[in-house]
Structure formats: C-alpha cells, structure tokens
Structure 1
C-alpha cells in the first residue's frame, strides 16, 4: 500500500543545499488502522540515492502490525528530486532529518515510543540516532584521499566533485561529521546492510546501550558485510545479528527488485517482531 499521507515540510534551522531557503524534508506516513494517537512509531531511512517509496516492503508490514511509520526522502540524496554531491557526503544530515520529523510529530501529539530502521546508508542513519559516530580522522583521510575510497554506484565521481568544494568547507566537514547526532527518544534500531562501517568510531558503537538488530546478505558487494554489517554487530553490545543468506545481494532489499521478494518478507517479519518487543505492543 502507498503511504497514507505525504507532508512537504521544511526545516528552518538548516539550509537548502542548492539554493536559498530552508532544507526540505518530505515526510511519508504509513498509518495503522484506527485513529488512536499516539502510536508506537518507527522511523525509516532509505539507502543512498534511494527513496522512502523503495522501503514500502518494510513500512507496510509495520503499519499493518499497528505502528505509525515515518519515512523521509533525504534531501539531495534521493532519486525523486535528484542528486546533490554535498548531500551524498554529508551523512550527518540524515539523522537530523529524522530528529526533525520526531519534533514535528510530537507537536501534533502523533508520537508514541520510537524505534528506527534503515537500509544501507539508512542503516548508518538509524545507528547514528543511538549514538554511532563517524571518526573525524577517518573522514578527513577520506576527503584527503589518504585511504582508498570506493565509488558510489549511484554517484560516480562523487569524491572528485567533493574535492572541488571550497577549502573552508572541506576543513569543517570532518568535525561536523564526527559530532553526536543521537536522539534520546529513539529506543532501538533495526539495521539492514548498514553502510559507512569503515568510517565509524568503534568506541561509539561500544557505548550503545539500546537494543539493535543487524541483517545482511553475504553476497552484498556494495556494503561488504565484513566492513559494515558485521563491524556494527561486532562492537555494539548484545546485537541480534545474522546473515539472511549466502546468495542475498545488496539490492535485493529494494522494493522494486523481484529477486529479493521472499527475503524482504522474512526480514520485514523479523523487524515487526523486533519493534513489537522493544518499542511496545501496538495499541489495538
């Protein structure tokens, strides 16, 4: 089912990445049956260059189970509106998008207990809401090309374009990237093929004290499990972690891919059980 409602919001605390004006935050809501508020809420973050609509395979089962699902199209990093190089590199803006959404829902008394889920870069986003932090030194080394930087399939030549930004921007970004973007309202997170693993400060993962589940496919050659999903699972205490198949690839988790249909149903069912256990049983 499509989202129940879409809201075109703007965050006045942040700038549009390509022109004057506030940052757009397009919010998609999948509402459960009934009208009682507040409902237990699950935030959903899509992968790099994706969209909220590609996560309908996860949003729909959660809504049927009684959760309010809130997903966004991350500005400049979604295929609906087009790509901006800065928004592929500014990973921290994703977590800020979701905290902004929580503020918005709270003002309308729509916000119940909260969990977060995400795929690929969205998996990092969900982890960041619990306290995962980027290493300033590793992010700087990436910008300075002192470490190998893999191409982003959705944006070939990204690092070269980023390197052409003003020096003042490149100098400030590592400190901004390494800041704390956790949100105390988020009680747990479900990470699907999470990305950005090589950039993450392991000490920040070790300090996470809220429930986390991690799922991945062993055939993922985009967010390679050993450097990403297994890395999160290795350092976050008590993680519920497992591979969902030796032949499961990264893009099998996109709703438009017929090949991964069975796996997506399986993982969505596990996510429903996870959030029911850790965010609280939905209201009838």
Structure 2
C-alpha cells in the first residue's frame, strides 16, 4: 500500500535536537493512519538501517487491516528518501528519541506499542528499557573492535571523524548507553532486531512490558543467535520465534528482488495477534 495514500503526513521538527546536516531543528517525518475506532491503540513503526516507512508498507497495511492507528517514521540521516548522513548510522539513541517526540505530537487514542525491523527492532526495545553498553559502543567507535560492515554506509568511522571532533565523539558512548525508556510504550514487537551483542543483560532482564521477537532462520545480517534469540532469552516472558521458511533471510522484508511473501505474512499474523492480546486485553 503506497504511502502516498496516507491521510496525514507531517514533517515535525524537534527543537531540542539539532539536525545532523545543519543548525536547524531535527526533522522527524511521520506518516499517520487513523482507524475508524475512536479508541484504537496506536502502533508506532520504526524502519531498519537505511530504510524508510515506505519500505514497511506491507506491515502498515496488515496493522491497519487489524484496526490499529499506525504512525510510521522516517528517521533523519538514516532513511533513503532524504539521503544518508554518517551520524544517522551511529547515533542510535536518536531513533527512540524520535519515537518519544512523536508521542508528544500525535494523539494516542488508546494504548501504545512500538514495532520495528532490524535497527528499528532495537529502537522498540530501547523504548522498553534495553540499553547499549557504553564500553562496547566506545570500542566500536574508536575502532578497537571491528564493527560489522554497514552496506548502506561504507567507511562509516572515517566519515564520522571527518565531520565530528574527537571531544564530541568521546561523549557519544555515554549518550548511547542512556536509559531511553518511555513509559507510554506498553508493548513492543521486534523483527530481526539488531545490536543484540551490544546490549547489557541487566537492562534486557529489567524489561517489564510485553515483548514479542521474531527472526528468520537464514538471517546473515542480524544472526538470530546473537540478536533476536538473545533478546527473547533475556527479556522476561518474551514471545520469541522464527518466521518464514528455512531459507528466509533479512532483506526479504524490504528489498523487492528478495521479496518473501511467506515471511511477511507470518509477521503480520504474529504482530496482529500479539498486539491484539496485549493492547486490547
């Protein structure tokens, strides 16, 4: 379902944060669908690294059909619609802050959940209390530990060092490790979530809201054993499991040439049932 049919698309600006490419306020584009039900729960959708709200239109359509209000975000500097900025691939904390900002702007007529794919899955988890290890983040930022390749932004570290001072970069590990929990978020659905190895066990064990996690068996971008399965094992009561067939990978949800209708159908059904049980209980 193309996003051009949305009844409301708004480019908000957050005056508390600067844009990554200038001195203005940080932009946060939101595509909003409203259900007929006047007290419909609100589901906020966060895309993966380098993606966009448009790329998850199949998920939006499934959530809309289930009667939810849906707000799908485009994260500044990390979406292919507006173009990439290196900071958008490293300042992970800006994504959950985007969601919290949107919840300040968009009326939630019922309970709120966050769903996300890949880095969007981390985003949803962070809003439930998952926290990055400052030491692990610093090791990646300084290059002491080699970061996994970022296909959408190769040479990320050199690009960051060319644009940001050493003193500013030195402050980022503390910001990455901050508690970004938002108590308005009452459930989360994580699809092939990333950053699993960088999250502290204690923060995952302290999550108290219902969480569902789904992954694909052949995902080489966010391997389940280190990511989705780790989230599911450490978050108390998390509902975890595999979607799609044995060859289903990471990009079948977002790349047309790897389109995986079976995996998408599984996600729509699983998220619909989980959200109905948790938000409409």
1:57 match: secondary structure: helix
Q: Could you say which residue in structure 2 is the equivalent of 1:100?
A: 101
Give yes or no for contact 2:48–2:120 (8 Å, CA) kept in 1.
yes
Q: Could you say which residue in structure 1 is the equivalent of 2:216?
A: 217
Offset of residue 255 of structure 1: 6.4
User: CA RMSD, aligned part only?
Assistant: 1.4
Offset of residue 218 of structure 1: 1.5
Q: Could you say which residue in structure 2 is the equivalent of 1:250?
A: 250
Matches within 5 A, 1:144-223: 144-164=142-162, 165-223=164-222
Matches within 5 A, 1:1-284: 1=1, 2=3, 3-32=6-35, 34=36, 36-106=37-107, 110-164=108-162, 165-244=164-243, 245-254=245-254, 256-257=256-257, 259-280=259-280
Q: Report the count of equivalent residues.
A: 276
Larger RCO, structures 1/2 (Cα 8 Å, 6+ apart): 1
TM-score, length-normalised on structure 1?
A: 0.93
2:208 match: secondary structure: coil
2:222 match: secondary structure: coil
Offset of residue 257 of structure 1: 4.7
Give yes or no for contact 1:57–1:255 (8 Å, CA) kept in 2.
no
Give yes or no for contact 2:251–2:259 (8 Å, CA) kept in 1.
no
Give yes or no for contact 1:41–1:115 (8 Å, CA) kept in 2.
yes
1:234 match: secondary structure: helix
Q: Which runs of 4 or more aligned residues in structure 1 lie more than 4 Å from their structure 2 counterparts after TM superposition?
A: none
Offset of residue 145 of structure 1: 1.4
Q: Distance in 1 between matches of 2:280 and 2:120?
A: 23
TM-score, length-normalised on structure 2?
A: 0.94
Offset of residue 18 of structure 1: 0.6
Q: Distance in 2 between matches of 1:23 and 1:30?
A: 23
2:20 match: secondary structure: coil
